[in-house]
Amino acid sequence: MKYFTKSEARAAAQAKKTVLKKAFEAHIMDSVTASTDADTFDIFLSHSIHDAELITGVKELLEKMGFSVYVDWDADPQMDRSTVSKKTAEILRKRMKQSKSLIYVATEKATASKWMPWELGFFDGHKPGQIAVLPLMDSESGTFPSQEYLGLYPQVTKDTYKGSNVEDIFVEDKGNRWATLAKFGKGATSWNSYG
């Protein structure tokens, strides 16, 4: 089992900036223009705003896999993230309801986030079984030192199918069951058992 790495996310973020050939701020404004109240998203990306470069890269990696991804500062830059407010909560609730799944990007900075635990709880109450934790590690084979409550949710990992060299991205529930990210992220999870 391998994890996504921070260098992988940073490289995707840099590639995204190069391909677009315009300022990062202009990219954000393009996303805002494309985002409407009627939007639906495959994945709501729960993250720390202090991981902006990493999150840009994770979003790019997921979009290259064919997912539509909600990132608050990208789709709703008018939101005030500096304080916990009813208005911000209202927008986030609406966006989570518009999303088929939630991926919690676990980094060192995520532990200090004001919003991530709240997003996790809200989404779990409305769409149980559609949450996964994506540990973003320094190396693919690192050990993920999860906060205790994150152990309740399956993890996004890179692995190969048993008996083959075919690599895929999986959502794994502690060795009990698994699904492909392709199905999980689209809200069409069909769990497979190990053994």
Q: Which two tokens stand for residue 60?
A: 């790019």
Furthest-apart CA pair in the chain: how many Å? 51
Report the pLDDT value the prediction gives residue 114, as an integer from 0 to 100.
87
pLDDT tens column, 128-174: 999 999 999 988 888 887 788 899 999 999 999 888 999 999 999 98
Residue range of the domain that includes 98? 4-154
- Indicate the pTM of the whole model: 0.82
Segments of the chain scoring below 50 in pLDDT: 28, 32-33
| Residue 93 within any structural domain of the chain | yes
| Residue 178 within any structural domain of the chain | no
| Residue 192 within any structural domain of the chain | no
**Residue 42, Cβ neighbours under 10 Å: how many?**
21
**Residue 9, burial from CB neighbour count under 10 angstroms (0-12, 13-18, 19+):** buried
Report the pLDDT value the prediction gives residue 146, as an integer from 0 to 100.
75
What is the number of structural domains in the chain? 1
Report the pLDDT value the prediction gives residue 168, as an integer from 0 to 100.
94
> What's the CATH code of the domain at 115?
3.40.50.10140
**What's the number of CA atoms in the CB half-sphere (13 Å) around residue 76?**
21
| Residue 164 within any structural domain of the chain | no
